[in-house]
């Protein structure tokens, strides 16, 4: 990712100390003080600048490292702007609410865990946010499990599995767009390539949830009817509102680039919205920036539908800029290169290289607890190594999603783990063994790495 030469050659001991301090700063800030991830990343940047100054590296040189790192993420940043717009227009048109409505139609007492998993997958893909899915319909499913005296741990595991399936496979997901953009892989090509590991993980998870599900339970007082009534009351539920999804699929099959697809999809969704609601020009422009605001009066529904807009992407964009700047500075100071040179002999084969990238993504989740960094840091570190063993970039993009995006909720002290435990009132250690999709994804990506199956190689 960073093509400039390092300005410094630290010793391996120094590089390890820097990385340990970096992990400590992240862990204490995120877990000890509950800080937003931007703050510890900024602290690490300050630490690296101080280290470089002590080593007499010119400030302009270090600044250039920051800039080089941030520049590498510009493609992702532009896509994030259009993703924010697409989400708000899909809310306006009723596309996402309609998908959610039909998702609830699938709910029944029989095969409850399997159906919870499927519905969470559908809504996760529709919304593109694992945490939003978990905090809304996830809470509803936990209530249903309570009412039917079913296992809360298995229910929570199915919710988390489905939500993170959506976070991984939705074209609206920021992590999916981040991984594809950082590796310079077309968004829909990235999603298609992830299917090789995602579909088997999905199928195995679905079967196991079906086997675990009891039969004969009723959905009395589960609240599904209330959810559906609230959705219908929005006047957004219409069959034709699913046409923008069809358009996205067609464009994906024709390999149309992400940004033109997002633009055309957004315009089409806005046009469809006028079939059931007349928005003024001012309202449309406001929603494009601030997002769609739902006012059904049902807290969970309003939380689920109040989404989108350019402003909703600012959190992610600012974190990406800071994290990439930090990565650029790590490379400029030679820290990553020194560590890689020391362990490079371990990554001579395709299998060991993929395992190393996956282990790094898992390690970032374990030691730092931050989902975005579990994608960014392994992607930065292993890009050249993947090229050396002849693997195309999309393999690395898939690996960091398989072992980064979906592993975060399995870590009790991670950002996602803490959030999910809070909203579902089920501890991470209780639901983690049943978050089958999240467990299977990194296992499959490593397994395929060693067998050579489903991998794409560079053309010689």
pTM of the model: 0.70
Residue with tokens 């589960």: 222
* pLDDT at position 438: 95
Write the DSSP string, 173-240.
-HHHHHHHHHTT--HHHHHHHHHHHHHHHHHHHHHHHHHH--SS---TT-SHHHHHHHHHHTT---GG
Measured CA to CA, the distance from residue 70 to residue 77 in angstroms comes to 10
DSSP one-letter code for 310: G
* pLDDT at position 3: 42
Do the Cβ atoms of 227 and 301 come closer than 8 Å? yes
Two tokens, residue 92: 């306006």
Measured CA to CA, the distance from residue 374 to residue 164 in angstroms comes to 15
* pLDDT at position 1: 40
Residue with tokens 């029989």: 110
Measured CA to CA, the distance from residue 308 to residue 284 in angstroms comes to 12
Do the Cβ atoms of 120 and 394 come closer than 8 Å? no
CB 395: neighbour CB atoms within 10 A?
28
Two tokens, residue 55: 């080593």
**Mind listing the pLDDT tens digit of every residue in the chain (460 residues)?**
434 477 888 999 999 999 899 888 888 887 788 788 889 889 999 999 999 999 999 999 999 999 988 887 677 678 778 878 888 898 899 887 887 787 677 666 578 899 899 989 988 887 777 877 886 678 667 866 775 678 899 999 999 999 999 889 988 788 888 888 888 888 888 999 999 999 999 999 999 999 998 865 555 445 667 777 888 888 889 999 989 888 877 776 676 777 888 899 899 999 999 998 888 999 999 999 998 998 877 777 787 788 788 998 888 788 778 877 887 888 899 887 788 777 777 888 899 999 999 998 998 887 766 788 788 888 878 888 898 888 898 999 999 999 998 998 998 777 788 778 877 888 888 999 999 999 999 999 999 999 988 888 887 6
For 314, phi then psi, to 5°, come to -60, -40
Do the Cβ atoms of 119 and 162 come closer than 8 Å? yes
């Amino acid at each position: 990712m960073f093509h400039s030469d390092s300005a410094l050659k630290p010793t391996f001991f120094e590089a390890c100390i820097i990385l340990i301090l970096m992990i400590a700063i992240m862990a204490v800030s995120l877990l000890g003080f509950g800080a937003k991830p931007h703050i510890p990343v900024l602290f690490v940047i300050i630490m690296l600048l101080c280290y470089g100054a002590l080593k007499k590296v010119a400030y302009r040189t270090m600044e250039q490292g920051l800039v080089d790192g941030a520049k590498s993420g510009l493609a992702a940043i532009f896509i994030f702007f259009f993703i924010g717009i697409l989400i708000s227009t899909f809310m306006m048109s009723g596309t996402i609410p309609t998908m959610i409505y039909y998702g609830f139609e699938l709910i029944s007492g029989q095969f409850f865990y399997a159906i919870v998993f499927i519905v969470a997958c559908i809504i996760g893909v529709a919304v593109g946010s694992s945490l939003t899915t978990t905090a809304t319909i996830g809470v509803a499913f936990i209530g249903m499990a309570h009412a039917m005296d079913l296992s809360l741990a298995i229910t929570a595991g199915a919710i988390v599995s489905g939500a993170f399936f959506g976070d991984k496979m939705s074209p609206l997901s920021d992590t999916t767009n981040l991984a594809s953009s950082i590796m310079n892989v077309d968004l829909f090509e990235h999603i298609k390539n992830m299917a090789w590991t995602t579909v088997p993980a999905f199928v195995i998870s679905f079967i196991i949830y079906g086997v675990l599900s009891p039969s004969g339970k009723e959905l009395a007082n589960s609240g599904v009817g209330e959810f559906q009534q609230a959705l219908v009351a929005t006047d957004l539920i219409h069959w034709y509102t699913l046409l923008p999804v069809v358009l996205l699929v067609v464009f994906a099959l024709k390999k149309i680039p992400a940004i033109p697809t997002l633009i055309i999809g957004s315009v089409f969704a806005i046009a469809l919205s006028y079939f059931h609601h007349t928005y003024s020009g001012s309202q449309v422009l406001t929603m494009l920036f601030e997002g769609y605001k739902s006012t059904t009066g049902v807290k969970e529904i309003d939380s689920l539908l109040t989404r989108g807009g350019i402003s909703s992407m600012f959190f992610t964009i600012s974190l990406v800029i800071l994290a990439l700047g930090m990565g650029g500075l790590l490379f400029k100071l030679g820290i990553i290169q020194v560590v890689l040179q020391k362990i490079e002999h371990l990554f001579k084969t395709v299998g060991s290289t993929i395992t190393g990238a996956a282990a790094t993504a898992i390690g970032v989740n374990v030691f730092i607890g931050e989902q975005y960094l579990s994608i960014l840091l392994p992607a930065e570190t292993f890009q050249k190594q993947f090229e050396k063993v002849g693997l195309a970039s999309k393999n690395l993009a898939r690996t960091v999603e398989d072992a980064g995006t979906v592993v975060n909720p399995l870590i009790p002290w991670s950002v996602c783990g803490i959030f999910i435990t809070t909203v579902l009132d089920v501890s991470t250690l209780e639901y983690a063994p049943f978050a089958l999709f999240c467990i299977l994804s990194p296992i499959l990506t490593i397994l395929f790495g060693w067998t050579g199956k489903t991998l794409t190689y560079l053309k010689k």
